Structure 1
Amino acid sequence: MCIGIPMRVVVGSEFIAQCERHGAISSISLMLVGPQPPGTHLLTHLGSAIRVLHADEARAIDDALAGLAEAVEGRAFDMLFADLISREPELPPHLRGE
């Protein structure tokens, strides 16, 4: 399974950015997304940015990752999946038989 981690650009150049998540700074390749200004949220995987995210999408992914960690530890996690709790599951458009 591959897990993308949301991070925020602190400072960047054309090909590399210093990105932050929960106070930790990492060097992230920008080769797939191009140069990004400070404050931009990125979905990262194995040291590379793979997609630019909106702030609310980055927060939802971060909450889901925190929810998984809470579930593994046997603690309450429902509040971290608020976007899923109050609705029925939906298939993506390309899988619907409409």
Structure 2
Amino acid sequence: MTIAETDGITALCEYGNEQRRVSVMLLADVPVGAKVLVHIDSAVRVLDDNEARLISEALVGLEASLNGQDIDRFFADLIGHEPQLPEHLR
């Protein structure tokens, strides 16, 4: 979500057509315009633009999947690549 306004304790955040007031008490001095990861109405971490974009794309892909739409374009970077387990899980 993107912070639209804040009083230092709460922030009005936006994502798509949704607006929600969330706590920003776990974060230090988050400015208007910052992108944050929100969990249970609390901003838990500031995101850089690339990370925010990847999360947004994943959410759009999940919504498309739930609606029965074609999702191949959301996973094009995985096609032809065998997923690898992290070393500690092999």
TM-score by length of 1: 0.75
Which protein is bigger by CA-based radius of gyration? 2
Q: Is the 8 A contact 1:64 1:80 kept in 2?
A: yes
Question: 2: CA distance between counterparts of 1:48 and 1:86?
Answer: 38
Where does residue 14 of structure 2 map in the other structure?
20
Tell me how large the CA RMSD over aligned residues is.
2.1
Residue number among 51, 54, 61 corresponding to 1:67 in the alignment? 61
User: Which residue identity does 2:48 align to in structure 1?
Assistant: H
How many residues in Structure 1 have an aligned counterpart in Structure 2?
90
How far is the alpha carbon of 1:74 from its aligned partner?
1.6
The structure 1 residue matched to 2:5, chosen from 8, 11, 19, is 11
The answer for unaligned runs of 5 or more in structure 1 is 1-6
Paired AA for residue 8 in structure 1: T
Which residue in 1 is equivalent to 2:32? Answer: 38
> After the TM superposition, which parts of structure 1 deviate over 6 Å for at least 4 consecutive aligned residues?
none
Tell me which residue corresponds to 1:4.
Answer: none
Which residue type is aligned with residue 21 of structure 2? S
Uncovered stretches (5+) of structure 2, i.e. residues with no partner: none
**Relative contact order: is structure 1 or structure 2 higher (C-alpha 8 Å, sep ≥ 6)?**
1
